[in-house]
Amino acid sequence: MALGRVLVIGLDPVRIPGWDPEPVVAAIARGQARFDDHGIEADMCLVVPDENAEGAIVEALTGKDYACVVVGGGIRKHEPLLEFFEKVVNLVRQHAPRAAIAFNSSPEDTADAALRWLR
């Protein structure tokens, strides 16, 4: 049974200065593998808020038909990004209105977040 395509919107750990991205990159890879384990097609849209992130998100949202969009914790949990988080949610509502919106707690449980809405 096909569950529908998922878009994951998150911060690009490689392009955020001042910290070691490797643990997050590894966690994202493990999370992507969980999508593969469930046979779910999942696309990543990794952005940096001050580098035309909104344009990249709109392009991703309109490029394919998504059953669910997962917004990552890096965008949601970091209080200085609250306004950006609101923009992301509203972009999803505007450009993928039929998609469920889900939230993960870490890159590794992103598939679980999507599965709550795909079943």
| 3-state secondary structure (DSSP) of residue 94 | helix
pLDDT digits (tens, 9 = 90+) for 87-108: 999 999 999 999 999 999 999 9
Say which DSSP state 118 is in.
H
Say which DSSP state 66 is in.
-
Contact predicate 57/89, CB 8 Å: no
CATH 2.30.30 given to domain 6-116? no
Q: 17 pLDDT exceeds 90?
A: no
Q: 1 pLDDT exceeds 80?
A: no
- Domain range summary for the chain, segments of one domain joined by +: 6-116
Confidence of residue 2 (pLDDT cuts 50, 70, 90): low
Rounded to a whole number of angstroms, the CA Rg of the chain reads 13
pLDDT digits (tens, 9 = 90+) for 23-60: 999 999 999 999 999 999 999 999 999 889 999 999 99
Higher per-residue pLDDT: 51 or 72? 72
Higher per-residue pLDDT: 2 or 73? 73
